[in-house]
Structure 1
Amino acid sequence: MRLSDGTAGRLPAGIARGCYDRHAQRAGIVHLGIGAFHRAHQASYTDAAMAAGDRDWAITGVSLRSRQVHDQLFPQDGLYTVTERQAGGAAVRLIGAVTGVIVAPDAPARAIAALTAPDTRIVTLTVTEKGYAAPDPADRAAAGAAPRSIYDYLAQAVVGRHDAGLAPLTLVSCDNLSDNGGVLRRRLAAHLDIVAPRHRRWFEDEWACPATMVDRIVPATTAADLDLVADALGLRDEGAVVTEPYAQWVIENRFAGPRPRWDMVGATFVDDVTPFETAKLRMLNGAHSALAYLGLARGYAFVHQAIADPDIAALVGRLMRDEAAPSIRTGPGQDLDRYADLLLARFRNPALPHRLIQIAADGSQKIGARWLAPLAANRAQGRPSPAILHALAAWVTFVRGDGHPVSDPHAGMLAQAWRQGGADGVIDTLFAPSGLFGPDLALSPDERADLRDRLAPTAA
């Protein structure tokens, strides 16, 4: 038997749920890209806000590609559960915030109607970084044709709302993209300049695109997960998502109109998201990369295994607290020492195994912002960065590819640098002023010598 409005009353008493009439709530939010992350993150925050007394923020989800989420949630009246797993048990919550799902390729007019509905006040997006690419002119939807990108849908929303005399919207990007709100704003404005130039000024003057920082680990739901959830519910939930207890949402306080009281249930509204983005990049992501390369070198497969190694844990702690944190200009109320404590607790959670080899992929695209930028900031302030250099040595050793494949866009160049020049060659190829990372992120001569010494056991 499937979870639905008609069967939800059969759920065990231990399943948490919000006590509000979900069908009495007007749909104030349209979400583009309704995948697992949105259901575990923004929709969960919205459900909790309505459970705390906020009203009329029900979500209409729009799937931009496949019917999968529609087919999961439509038979369940939009209901699904979020299971938070940690060592020692799991907590399950019924989420009622999603009251409709539209498959945009099948019904583009319905998607546009949702965006131009008078009750809609906010559009949230999780469309992945690729979804923000400016459309090629050859792929841009012609006048009257079906939309092909988020910019086509949003441009029609701008035109439709303006011409109907409706209020402007707030577009809240929730993707892991630096300055995500600014990117969305600039590219949509450029798109409007081509497809609806007389509406561009209204968009720029009246609409809002706040920047955000989002954080929660939400793995793809497996068949085994669905079976475990069914055992806990006594009902089948094909839309279930499984995640960690931790969640963070930092939102620039820039809205074109009303907003949900997400701050009542853990979100943070700030004037500037940048310090929080930087902390996530240099502390969370920087520590993850260090765990990956150091852990793989010692034969570990998962994050929770690597952080259980006392040597690795000590080094990661120093990297976060002593080297990454001092390089960050903090915002009001931002406590980086507490943030490091929370991150270490997350890393130790064995209930959501996070594979090191996945984190290790594409290192040349990641370590500049995660390690080299804080290292450069520390150098400018006269502070050493031995933990970062130790992690760099582990990465440089990893990309040599001895006994394992290297998934990196520069894998061939890195392997060739090792073959032709050994440790000296690869260090110069990467970290000299003329190297891969450029002069701004280059290591100093002393740092390159330090790195060479750390590579000595494997540099032959």
Structure 2
Amino acid sequence: MARAVQFGAGNIGRGLVGYVLRRYGYDVTFVDVVDEVVAQLNALGRYPVRILTRDSERVETVDGVRALHAADVDAVTGAVAGAQLVTTAVGPGVLPAVAEPIREGLRRHPAAAVNVIACENMTGNSTRLRALVEGQAGWTVPAWAGFPDCVVDRIVTASPGRPPLTVTVEESFEFLVARAAWVGEVPRIEGVAFVEDLEPYRVRKLWLVNGLHAAVAYLGAQRGHRVIDEAMQDSGIRRIVDGVATEAVAALQHRHPGFDRQELIEYAGRSLTRFSDPRLRDPIARVARDPLRKLGAAERLCGPARAAIDAGLPARHLATVIAAVLQYRAPDDPSAVQLAQDVKRQGWRAVLMRTAELPADHPLLDLVA
């Protein structure tokens, strides 16, 4: 049986990556830092996935799994050395921490095909992980190890009050992998698509899933809502978010004319339908987390806004959301605290010029004002 090591046994790790890999038949070993999660995975050897369909729900069991604690470095590197696939779902900021055990595992790996996929919500995810793995160690990733970038999408939430390790997920998901960077025979994994050009799909997901999700979150926080589905019922928010969708679709179709506009409109509409599901109870604080990063030039809001303006297209609703991000306050979120301090000291224009890489006369600044 092919072996996979999944760094991160959180909601995405269990509810998407582990779920997909076990269905294909991989022997999955999770690596995590949470003692309780590691102990429960080893004690039970399985976990429930509550899948929400449009009108009902079902529970599937992901079995045949085990876990290692990240502190057990020798065991973790040994697992990587024996794997055919290594995946991560730890968050972009944690990738440097997993790079070292992956590097040491690859050093011990036989000269046979292995692929490493960083299932992280960031541009060039696996490419970034490869750079971290090579790092300053003077070591080059061998030709038999692939680091294909990917695009993954599934709303996964915790399930309080349900059996241990249960994750609640929407039925649909997206898992796209860059075919050209894959080493060895391309497997036929149900639900995973290997594509020649990942970039259009990456931008589509970033703008029409992450961007719309962020818009609901920041506008919702501004109006006192706590969960995404509740904010979606707010007519004032929905009007702005619908405008964001229209602007982002137009900018995306202009940038990637291979997309059919009606299909993009339907894609955005499906995103908004997903966000409206009251069973997911997705916390606004989770979606809004790390606002400084999300104000980046190529990120989910400033990216489509800049693209729209460059193409001579409207970006008024996107600018409204960017203004809401600049006003976002969350004392438990270090990025939000830093944002508030920066805005207070420097002013919002200077902050946005820095994060979104804008010249002082860029039209977006006047739209946000």
Normalising by structure 2, report the TM-score.
0.85
Cα separation, partners in 2 of 1:382 and 1:39, compared to 1, 3 Å: same
Task: Kindly indicate whether the alpha-carbon contact (under 8 Å) linking 2:8 and 2:89 is maintained by their aligned counterparts in 1.
Answer: yes
Deviation at 1:347, TM superposition (A): 1.0
Deviation at 1:89, TM superposition (A): 3.7
Q: Which residue of 2 aligns with 1:372?
A: 302
Cα separation, partners in 2 of 1:58 and 1:387, compared to 1, 3 Å: same
Which amino acid in structure 1 is aligned with residue 104 of structure 2?
Q
Cα separation, partners in 2 of 1:114 and 1:372, compared to 1, 3 Å: closer
Instruction: Answer yes or no: is 1:436 the counterpart of 2:328.
Output: no
Instruction: Answer yes or no: is 1:112 the counterpart of 2:41.
Output: no
Task: Kindly indicate whether the alpha-carbon contact (under 8 Å) linking 2:208 and 2:268 is maintained by their aligned counterparts in 1.
Answer: yes
Instruction: Answer yes or no: is 1:389 the counterpart of 2:307.
Output: no
Instruction: Answer yes or no: is 1:414 the counterpart of 2:343.
Output: yes
Q: Which residue of 2 aligns with 1:205?
A: 143
Instruction: Answer yes or no: is 1:312 the counterpart of 2:277.
Output: no
Instruction: Answer yes or no: is 1:359 the counterpart of 2:315.
Output: no
- Which residue, out of 38, 44, 60, partners 2:29? 60
Task: Kindly indicate whether the alpha-carbon contact (under 8 Å) linking 1:378 and 1:384 is maintained by their aligned counterparts in 2.
Answer: yes
Task: Kindly indicate whether the alpha-carbon contact (under 8 Å) linking 2:328 and 2:336 is maintained by their aligned counterparts in 1.
Answer: no
Tell me the SS of whatever aligns to 1:352: coil
Instruction: Answer yes or no: is 1:71 the counterpart of 2:39.
Output: yes
Paired with 2:177 and 2:2, the residues of 1 have a C-alpha distance of 21
- Which residue, out of 25, 30, 43, partners 2:18? 43
Identity, % of aligned pairs? 23
Cα separation, partners in 2 of 1:297 and 1:111, compared to 1, 3 Å: closer
Cα separation, partners in 2 of 1:427 and 1:158, compared to 1, 3 Å: closer
Partner deviation per Cα, 1:424-458 (whole Å, 9 max, x = no partner)? xx454345xxx4336x4357465544444xxxxxx
- Which residue, out of 238, 244, 250, partners 2:170? 244
Paired with 1:392 and 1:443, the residues of 2 have a C-alpha distance of 17
Which amino acid in structure 1 is aligned with residue 228 of structure 2?
V
- Which residue, out of 194, 217, 238, partners 1:292? 217
Deviation at 1:361, TM superposition (A): 4.2
Paired with 1:110 and 1:30, the residues of 2 have a C-alpha distance of 11
Where do residues 53-452 of structure 1 align in structure 2 (5 Å cutoff)? 57-63=26-32, 65-76=33-44, 78-85=45-52, 89-96=56-63, 98-106=64-72, 108-117=73-82, 120-133=83-96, 149-162=97-110, 166-193=111-138, 197=139, 200=140, 203-222=141-160, 224-226=161-163, 238-253=164-179, 254-262=181-189, 265-327=190-252, 329-330=255-256, 335-368=263-296, 369-398=299-328, 407-416=336-345, 426=347, 428-431=349-352, 435-437=353-355, 440-442=357-359, 444=361, 447-452=364-369
Which amino acid in structure 1 is aligned with residue 100 of structure 2?
D
Structure 2 regions of 5+ residues with no counterpart? none
Tell me the number of residue pairs that the alignment of Structure 1 and Structure 2 aligns. Answer: 360
Tell me the SS of whatever aligns to 2:172: coil
Tell me the SS of whatever aligns to 2:57: strand
Structure 1 regions of 5+ residues with no counterpart? 1-25, 51-56, 134-148, 227-237, 418-425, 453-460
Cα separation, partners in 2 of 1:443 and 1:353, compared to 1, 3 Å: farther
CA RMSD in angstroms comes to 3.0
Deviation at 1:345, TM superposition (A): 1.0
Partner deviation per Cα, 1:19-55 (whole Å, 9 max, x = no partner)? xxxxxxx2422223333321111221123334xxxxx
Paired with 2:314 and 2:156, the residues of 1 have a C-alpha distance of 35
Deviation at 1:346, TM superposition (A): 0.8
The structure that has the greater radius of gyration is 1
Deviation at 1:111, TM superposition (A): 3.0
Normalising by structure 1, report the TM-score.
0.69
Deviation at 1:272, TM superposition (A): 2.8
